[in-house]
Amino acid sequence: MTSLPPLVAPSTEPLSPEELARYSRHLALPGIGIEGQQRLRAARVLVVGAGGLGSPALLYLAAAGVGTIGIVDDDRVEVSNLQRQVIHGGSDVGRPKVASARDAIAEVNPHVTVRLHEQRLDAGNVLDVLAGYDLVLDGTDNFATRYLVGDAAEIAGIPCVWGSIFRFQGQVSVFWATPPGGEGVVYRDVFPEPPPPGTVPDCATGGVLGAMCGTIGSVMATEAVKLVTGAGRTLLGRLAVYDSLELTWRHLTVRADPQREPVTGLLSGDQAYEAFCGLAPVPVGAGAVRPAVAGGLFESLSGPTAEGRLAVDLAQVSEESGGRGLPGAGTVLGAPVRGPDVAPSGVLAASEDVDPPAGPAPHIATRAPGGPTGRGGTTTSGPVGAPAGAGPAPTSLTPRELAARLADPDDDLLLLDVREDWETQIVGIDGARVVPSGVYAGPDARAALADLPRDRTVAVLCKVGGRSDRVAGLARAVGVDARNVEGGVLAWVRDVEPGRPTY
């Protein structure tokens, strides 16, 4: 992809003496100069997510002199955010992130107009929110919102700068369906299918290098500045993969899928995008942009609740230099990249806060009235060895049901906490047996499963329900009456012990 023309026309009002002094380092740059700075002043940029990626992007967009910045986020600042979300400070804990970010931007550059969108994007509001902006930066941490923002940007005809992070790796690219004078590529071209729910690690467990958020977020801001001013060559048609441990960048060519139908309307129905990602029941009558998904996703949905924060983007792509695949990359859980001249390989990156897999869970579920597969209304054929005709056994219980059973002196239920030790030090439930979920997927898995009792119920707990659901499935496959605690310890705090710490 060659350089693109400037996205935004320059403002007609000359720069003030104060602005000339503030932006003097920009004014000396070829490709920006006074005209480019006036383009930045006239630009309207929407940033979705004021978290790890949105924080540095917002600060640098403001410092660069972007005239209007919109911020979309419905979360509040938590202590655990401060390790990487640098736009917020200790005094902001408990405040809405949009308000905290607005105040930080005002300190950086009082010339910037900030618009706050303290709401969760959905199919009913996203087009209205995007209206009036020249481009959008997607720093979100879940697949449902990524597909939603990508579809909305395609409908609105504006570019989308996208980033994703996990542990020591990150990805960043530019998506645009209809760039002037060039071939467009959008998020659905690169990631046509979300990974199966519950098969993604999380930053709460796997971790993320806070400083790397600054690296990827700053690149996102740089791409936005290049799009606005027309300077340089953007990442449209390329996906940049960053490895902070090796301090390397790989550029991977991405192409439009010639067989993909253009997005002309959003998925319809409440939680339609969550359903597309396997996080909610499929809405009746969901129509537009509903591709077929391998594995019967729309026939049998399972996984964590819609509040679970998904974390991994897996793609099959090729390096620009010769189309070679990434060493050691696999296609397990991957969404195939569509398009010509693309050789298979795999790229891993991720974002924040969802429970990781504990390995494949060989339990067969059938849909029961009132709930999709794998959720509260799920039933199975029962533990191995259950008496014939005993009927389906429950596979989950709510936090309140767990509390009632723990309080019953005649109930010998075993509570198995599959979180990491450090997580249990933040908040735990008295009497739980702690065995990290990774044990059940490692070389000691057989022994760990054999250690579980067959003569009493085992309630399996994690942070939000993903890891525990996997471990419970493994346990049921070997004859244990294992039940997933819905919503994990966060739901326990919400429903049973409000006021206890969360993370």
Catalytic residues: 203, 462
Regarding beta strands 160-166 and 169-175, do their DSSP bridges make them parallel or antiparallel, or are they unpaired?
A: antiparallel
Where do the DSSP E strands lie in 40-106? 44-48, 68-72
Long-range CB contacts (< 8 A, 24+ apart) of 8-16? Answer: 8/39, 8/40, 8/42, 8/43, 8/134, 8/228, 9/39, 9/42, 10/35, 10/36, 10/38, 10/39, 10/41, 10/42, 11/38, 11/39, 11/41, 11/42, 11/67, 13/38, 13/41, 15/41
**Interstrand relation of 135-138 and 160-166 (parallel, antiparallel or unpaired):** parallel
Task: Please classify residue 235 by burial: count the beta carbons closer than 10 Å to its beta carbon, then call 0-12 exposed, 13-18 middle and 19+ buried.
Answer: buried
Q: What is the DSSP string of 13-27?
A: SPPPHHHHHHTHHHH
Which residue stretches of 268-366 are H helix? 272-276
* Interacting residues of 185 by C-beta distance below 8 A, sequence separation 6+: 175, 176, 236, 237, 254, 255, 256, 339
Q: Is-contact 240 249, C-beta < 8 A?
A: yes
Helix-strand-coil split of the chain, %, nearest 5: 30, 15, 55
Asked if residues 272 and 283 have their Cβ atoms less than 8 Å apart, the reply is yes
Strands 312-315 and 347-350 turn out to be antiparallel
DSSP 191-225: -SSPPPTT----HHHH-B-HHHHHHHHHHHHHHHH
Other CB atoms within 10 A of residue 405 CB: 17
Question: Residue 479 and residue 472: Cα distance in Å, rounded?
Answer: 11
Sheet holding 482-485, edge to edge: 396-397, 482-485, 458-461, 414-417, 433-434
Structure tokens at 121: 């994007």
Q: How far apart are CA 253 and CA 342, in angstroms?
A: 8
Look at residues 206, 217, 176, 263 and name the one whose alpha carbon lies nearest to residue 87.
217
Q: Of 349, 392, 361, nearest to 143 (Cα)?
A: 349
Q: Which helix (H) or strand (E) holds 143?
A: helix 143-156
Contact by Cβ (8 Å): 457, 414:
yes
